[in-house]
Structure 1
Amino acid sequence: MGVVIRPIRADEIAHAAEQRYAAYSNDFAIGGAYADEVRDLARHVESAEVWVAVDSSTGALLGSVTLPRPGESLHLARPGELEFRLLAVDTAARRRGIGRLLTEFVIGVARARGLDRVVMNSGTAMTSAHRLYESMGFTRMPDRENPPGIEPSRAYGLDLR
């Protein structure tokens, strides 16, 4: 496929932030504090890990995902779990398997860190993403849906053991 996943570089942050915002706003109406959160990739780089999928022949950014640093969590994860947030694929790169590739990368990170489960939340309108996660074996976790500040949402988990 010619895609490399690597940590984001400082010179890519602004572009990736707008790419992520465009991807999310393509799927549903986004505004207010959540829009600010989606666009604030610079803060995510300071407090977590941001990984990008890059076309290896052109260098174009195709998508991104945010993970916690080892031993840390973002919002949803419990001990033994890795949470990922804000997985986004450039609208022009959709249908190329980039979302699946980034999700497989996240699963690999969880395994490498010796964790038992991967968890995430997704907006209720993001039905294409839900189909992807479900096709990869993720199942709904209704008890973790709609946390304050992240509603309405669906929570998904994938057991690794």
Structure 2
Amino acid sequence: MSGLSVRRAGPADFPAVARLTVAAYEADGQLKSEHGYATVLADVASRAEDGEVFVAADDATGELLGSVTFVLPGTRYAQLSGPGEAEFRMLAVDPVGQGRGVGAALVEACVSRAAELGCSAVVICVRSGFAAAAQRLYQRRGFVRVPELDWVPLDGVELLGLRLELVSGCPGGR
């Protein structure tokens, strides 16, 4: 991952994170006929209150190329995680930064954070029919499809559940 750094986002990063997240979702076609999801994606301050927002930056320019929100069960943005699990959401890579390993670096930051916290697994969801590159990334990293985690938050929006086993036997784990 030469040339990239991943760190926790600070308030000064929030406007850039909002822009790149919405741009990435729009470029992928995921915001067509959505009911306010762009507003949720752009509210980085709320995500940072209830989780950890990580950013990937170009080492040479400092430009933010991607972001992700890491959450634990029971927090506002957690959708799938149960006891002993972590979850990440809203992984976004700026369209100009794609193909540089930004997504993989952000996934690794979340997996590392989950392991650091003693979690037994990381769970995520991906939108069916979208983000084929992201689904390949998750599959290469070892995430497996768990149909029991699939869900439909809105008509026409099917989310597929994926899980990565980390360490078994942690307190509260499954």
Unaligned runs of 5+ in 1: none
**Aligned ranges for residues 23-38 of structure 1 at < 5 Å?**
23-30=24-31, 31-38=34-41
Deviations 1:21-70 (A, max 9, x none): 1101111240322222222222112222111111122111010010126x
Measure the CA separation in 2 of the matches of 1:109 and 1:147: 28
- Determine whether 1:134 maps to 2:139: yes
Cα root mean square deviation, aligned: 1.7
Residue of structure 2 in register with 1:154 after alignment? 160
Paired amino acid for 2:91:
L
Measure the CA separation in 2 of the matches of 1:160 and 1:113: 11
Match of 1:154, SS state, is strand
Residue of structure 2 in register with 1:7 after alignment? 8
**Greater CA deviation, 41-50 or 103-112?**
41-50
Paired amino acid for 1:134:
Q
Measure the CA separation in 2 of the matches of 1:72 and 1:157: 18
Match of 1:84, SS state, is strand
**Greater CA deviation, 141-150 or 93-102?**
141-150
Measure the CA separation in 1 of the matches of 2:105 and 2:22: 20
In the superposition, relative to structure 1, how do residues 50 and 149 fare at CA in structure 2: closer, same or farther (>3 Å)?
Answer: farther
> 1:104 Cα shift?
1.1
Measure the CA separation in 1 of the matches of 2:115 and 2:50: 22
Residue of structure 2 in register with 1:40 after alignment? 43
Measure the CA separation in 2 of the matches of 1:84 and 1:33: 20
Identify which of 119, 124, 146 aligns with 2:123: 119
Residue of structure 1 in register with 2:68 after alignment? 65
Divergent runs of 4+, >6 A: none
> 1:126 Cα shift?
1.5
- Contact 1:23/1:89 (CA < 8 Å) preserved in 2? yes
Unaligned runs of 5+ in 2: 168-174
> 1:88 Cα shift?
0.6
Match of 2:100, SS state, is coil
Identify which of 145, 150, 153 aligns with 2:150: 145
In the superposition, relative to structure 1, how do residues 29 and 82 fare at CA in structure 2: closer, same or farther (>3 Å)?
Answer: closer
Residue of structure 2 in register with 1:18 after alignment? 19
TM-score (norm 2): 0.85
Paired amino acid for 1:42:
A
Whose helix fraction is larger, Structure 1's or Structure 2's?
A: 1
> 1:160 Cα shift?
1.1
- Identical positions, percent: 35
